[in-house]
Structure 1
Amino acid sequence: METRGNSRKKKKSPLKKILIVLASLLLILLLTIGGFAAKTYFDVKNTANKISKPVKGREKSTNVETGKPFSVLLLGLDTGDFGRDDVGRSDTMLVATVNPKDKKTTLISIPRDTRMEMVGQGTVEKAAHAYAYGQEKMAMDSVEKFLDIKLDHYVSINMQGFKDLVDAVGGVEVTNKFEFKQEGFTFPAGKVTLNGEEALAYTRMRYEDPNGDYGRQVRQQDVISAIGEKALTFSGVTKYKQILNAMESNMKTDLTPDEMFKIGKDYRSSFGKIDQETLHGNGEMIDGLSYQVVPDEELARVQLLLDQQLGE
């Protein structure tokens, strides 16, 4: 692989368009694998207790407990680096459906500029704003209504957590479609190995991509798959301490420790096949703001797909 620049200049402005959060859910599976060993069990459970945070005002789902298919809203927050410690926005949003019968997980990327109702706010705005207004609850309520599905859980991670997770598994390898430069790094075409800083830059680029934000989402999904594959290897399991440290300060979920352990025990095969989809919209200017407006037929396509994946 060609040498990439290592002079990434830190900016005062916040990083945006950060990487996807599914890594955290896959890494929970990794932790549960190690968690059944006496040596690691208490470390894992301690971290699970620290990151578990229920959502007030939402009914608790029992799907994981009863072994049914379940859905997760995955949120990548634009906080945790460059001094940002405010609430922030969910610059990355995905819905993951996990079906143990079909042994399949489906990822749906939702562009941050997707125009939808802010449930509880009484406005129609960009999807990323829901978290800023009402954190996990409003984000879940808004996406749930937009996609007409029941969201069982959420997982969120900030940018520092993403970088730390990539480093914790020893970096990831992806196949880059074309050479580009981003934030002081040069990413050649072909197979590239990325550390945390590089992975964050790699997944943020969109202006040089002929597919714009949708191309960026494909790179995000590729990195997620790479993290999951690396984490579930023997070498990934041996790095559980680093993964725990990355998760403790930078990740939140409403999954209880018992649910996390059950996912690792009963749902692991569901992560062997990951299908990736993107909710496509059309760029429109409304009241001076740029939105992605999803056509009815596209929304119906994704809603049907999610309904099929969550069926028993």
Structure 2
Amino acid sequence: MKALRLTLAAAMGAAAIGAAAMMVAPAMAQAPATGAATLDAIRARGTLICGVNTGLAGFAQPDSQGVWRGFDVDYCRAVAVALWNDPGKVRYVPTTAQNRFTALQSGEVDLLVRNTTWTLSRDTSLGFDFTGINFYDGQGFMVKTSAGVRTARDLNGATICVQPGTTTEQNLTDWARANRIRFTPVVIERLEEVVGAYVSGRCDAYTTDVSGLASTRSAQPRPAEHMILPDVISKEPLGPAVRHGDQRFADLVKWIHFGLVGAEELGITAANVQQAAQSDARPDVQRMLGRSGDLGQMLSVDNAWMVNIIRTLGNYGEIFERNLAPIGLQRGPNALWTNGGLQYAPPLR
């Protein structure tokens, strides 16, 4: 979600940010692997280290048995399946809005899949590469139904809860200035604390990505007591991120996403992927499922990489429905382009 303030970047430059990150976290398990060495280091370790949210229903949250589940978690698992055909070979590192970037820069995590917005500054000054947009989102507002608020313009004079270290802060300020809305921000870093402040009535409204609002609402004892206003004040293209220079690894993560979307386009599901690999004569299917073209070898994985991923996790639509439909999110812009959405896979060939 959201953009880290760039005051440090302006003063020190991207290289100094990396050095500062190492000073902040001297206890990191290892120095960052760079270039082609990243993928090699992951293989040698035998485990993918994936940075995720500290707990966001539908996206990344441990269940009652301590097993991590969610939309972002399934993307981490998909990488492990591509590499080892084993979704269990992932170590999840919970990260906050503020420390997630340090974790990736320093090498504490190999991959960041934490509902993070793709922005120019993150793609350049912070030294990251985004590998695609796996969720099209936007910033919204949630209020208590009893408040009688119907649009964001009704929040003039309100107190609004917001997390620091996110694009949410700047979006809120820009929107309020443009619309001549006065508000009092209540800035709290930890997700559970900012939600608690909103629920307890310390804030009149809570603002973050609409997906995050839906997740928070679904976790309340009486979800109907909270409503997400219809106003969406920003574009928030969310997706996985790797470090600059990790091109081989970036290619793998990128094409896993496109493979999941492409599988849905072609009607390939967890239930029929094995049969499709044997009997579906469509050239696109044969290439995707490793029967021709050696696409897996181009990504340094087995040619059956997509068969294994789809068999284990399903296609993009199945991952979405399993994780996000239960918290009330509809496909919307995340529908396939053939169904009026924005999800579109380049050709796997």
Same fold (TM over 0.5): no
Give the structure-1-normalised TM-score: 0.27
Higher Rg? 2
Give the structure-2-normalised TM-score: 0.25
Give the structure with the higher percent strand. Answer: 1
Higher relative contact order (CA 8 A, sep 6+): 1
